[in-house]
Structure formats: C-alpha cells, structure tokens
Structure 1
Amino acid sequence: GDLGAVSAAIAEAAGSARPDSAKAVLAPNASAIERCFGNAGSAEDIVSRLEAEGSDFARGVLGALRQRSPTSVKVSLEAIRRHRDATLKEAFVAEYRLSQWCMRPQPLSDFCEGIRAVLVDKDNAPKWDPARLEDVSQQRVEGFFAPLGPEHPLGELQI
C-alpha cells in the first residue's frame, strides 16, 4: 500500500483534533485538573472536587460528565487506572475486551441506550441504568474487565 495515502487519510480524519487546541484548554487549567482529578479515589470524588472548584472549566467538565453514562464514567476511570502501564499488546487485549462487554445488551452496558437516544430517536435523553454514579457498584464495573469466556462468539483477542 501507499504509506503516503494512508497518512493523508489519517490526517484528514483527525483534522479537528489539533494538539495546539488541546494545549490551549489544558495548560491554563492544569492546576484545576490536578486538584480535581489528581489522586481522586473515585468518580464521585472527582465530581465533588469539580463542584467545589467552581470555575468555568470545572463546570464544563462537570456538565460533560453528567451527560455520560454513569457506568461508562466509572468503567473509563477504572480502565485508565488498570492499564496505565500496559504494554501495547496488553492495551489491545484490554480494549478489545472492554469493547465486547460495552456492546452487549443489558445488564452491563448502556451502549444501546446511548445509540437509541442519539442516533435512533434523537431525543438526546438517554435513560442510563443505573442513572447515578453512586448507584454503579464496583461489582458492575469489574464485570467489564472479566474474561470473555468460551461462550463468546469471537473469544478473547489473540495477538
């Protein structure tokens, strides 16, 4: 294949994701980010810290978090913590496993509900289950990191 064409396609697809624009938002808010996210014990701790921070940046992040599936927020935080030092192979296997659990219907995932709310009914009013962060148990979160098992049609990712 033509490496130049692949590079051009990637650059075009990533057009709006400019590192400079991320720096423009992150750099002036670095101390608030550290206060709100640094050494937080839980997603609920992060929300409490953002509420206490009170800045426009904190309110914006808080608004974005509140629109997301509480389960997905907790699973994402757990994934960051678990895989912070993962090798590339470990990261691929973990991400594949997470994607498979996230796309399964209830009781584990809000994925289908998010699709319904945004793409099907377009009401932008997902009914997350559970609806609040504090109602998402650690046991539920752990389920997203469990091996897929022999009954899974594709099985675990083999690299």
Structure 2
Amino acid sequence: MNIGITDNRFGDLDIHLQSGGITLIQLFISSCLLSNLNAFGSSLCSQRLPFLEQALAKVNTSDPDVISTIISRFSDIPKLKAESPYHKMKIIDRCFSRRTIEEIISSLENEALNKKDDWISSTIQSLKKASPTSLKISLRSIREGRLQGVGSCLVREYRMVCHVLRGEFSKDFFEGCRALLIDKDKNPKWEPSRLELIRDDDVDRYFSKIDDEDWEDLKLPPRSNLPPYAIAKL
C-alpha cells in the first residue's frame, strides 16, 4: 500500500480535486483520495510509517521545510503519467488560488479563451455541474484546514458532514444521490441553483456545532503515547 504525501509544493491543486465533483459524495471522496494520489506527491510505503512517525516525534518544530525534509527521507518520487494534473500546476496555481469559487471559474474561463485545453474545459464543466452549496463549503473547509491541526480538521469535517446528512440547510446531498444512484438521470436539481444565491452566513452554518443532543460533537481520543510537543503538532 502506498500513501501519497502532499505539501505546499502543489499549490491549490487540492481545491481542484475537492471542488470538481457533481455531488457532495464525490467532493468528500476526493478529499479521501487526495491522501492516496501518488501522482501529486511523494510515494510512502505503509511499512515506513512507524519510522516516519518516530522521526517526526523527535523534532521539536513545526517548520514546514524541516517536516518536508524528514518526510522525503522515507519517501520515493513516483513516475508521473503524461495526463497527470501535476503537469498543469501553473494553471492550477493561477486559477485555484483565487478567493472564491466564482473567481476560480472565471479564471479558468479566461485560460480557456487563450488556450485550447481539454483539461481546462472538462474542469470548467465539472465545476458548473456541481452543487453550488457543496463547492462553497468545500472551498471554505480546505482553506480553513490549511491553518489547523489534524484534530481540528476532523472535527470540522465531521460537523460539515453531519449538517449535510441532516439536510436542514440544503437537500443537495439527497438530490445528488437520486440523480446518480436512484433515477440515474444524471440531472440533479440543486437548490440554491446558483453560486451567487449562497451567502457567507449560509456557508457558516455548516461548520457550527449541531444544537441537538442526539448529534454529539466529535471527540477524539488523546494521543498519550506521544510527547506533548508532538501532540501539539497534530
């Protein structure tokens, strides 16, 4: 088993991966796939993971350069396929570093005007087919996650998924399931139907703690086997 290691060398590629699906199912699956896409980072054999964890636990720093150097000692650079999006990194960084989904799509459309590229065209098409709500909350989650530890990220993702499954703010998850899995017409009717109809406070609600005693917040077990400075980095 190989696990892909991604870092800041790959700019805003993660936003593209998580925002390119047609439903929230695909968006969340993309988040999981990101950790196993060898084409976008270093390939790390699972047998080396215990040694990597030990090496990381020994350093009392969160400096990205130091961490990246340690990871590289236990990893190999995979052979990239010709169609790998890694070869599109300049375009990805230009477009997916934009502040909003609307600006990302607009930037891609400008790229398409200047250059005929099947990847750009298919990416624009995928984004425009996706649930506007799912695009907004996925982008927010990715941006916030860059500044948080693993524990905070898991809590944030858990709350987001719970709100999606409850369907109290949007039924797009169920509509996506209907269009892809039940009726299979591949013609979902999103609500709201356009990005501009979704306000910032609509997105905020997906990251709030659920006010319902039947829906407990995620509580992670303590990592007592690690020294305090290592736990602080998680």
For residues 56 and 19 of structure 1, what CA distance do their matches in structure 2 show?
22
Indicate the residue corresponding to 1:118 in structure 2.
Answer: 180
Letter in 2 for 1:138: D
Match of 2:106 among 36, 41, 48: 48
- Does structure 1 retain, via aligned residues, the 8 Å contact 2:39–2:86? no
Give the aligned partner of residue 218 of structure 2. 157
User: Does 2:186 match 1:143?
Assistant: no
Partner letter of residue 57 of structure 1? W
Aligned to 2:228: none
Q: How many residues align?
A: 145
Distance 1:109 1:53 in 2: 33
Please give the TM-score of this superposition, normalised by the length of structure 2.
0.57
Superposition TM-score, scaled by structure 1 size: 0.82
Taking every aligned residue pair, what percent have the same amino acid on both sides? 33
Structure 1 consecutive aligned stretches of length 4 or more whose deviation exceeds 4 Å: none
Whole-angstrom distance in 2 between the partners of 1:61 and 1:86 = 28
- Counterparts of 1:1-159 in structure 2, within 5 Å, are 18-20=37-39, 23-24=80-81, 25-38=84-97, 40-54=98-112, 55-149=117-211, 151-159=212-220
Q: Distance in 1 between matches of 2:109 and 2:155?
A: 35
**CA RMSD of superposed structures (Å):** 2.2
User: What is the Cα deviation at residue 154 of structure 1?
Assistant: 2.5
Q: Of the two structures, which has the highest relative contact order with CA contacts closer than 8 Å and spacing of 6 or more?
A: 2
Max Rg structure: 2
Output the amino acid matched with 1:119.
L
8 Å CA contact 1:108, 1:143 repeated in 2: no
Letter in 2 for 1:50: L
Q: State the match for 1:4 in structure 2.
A: none
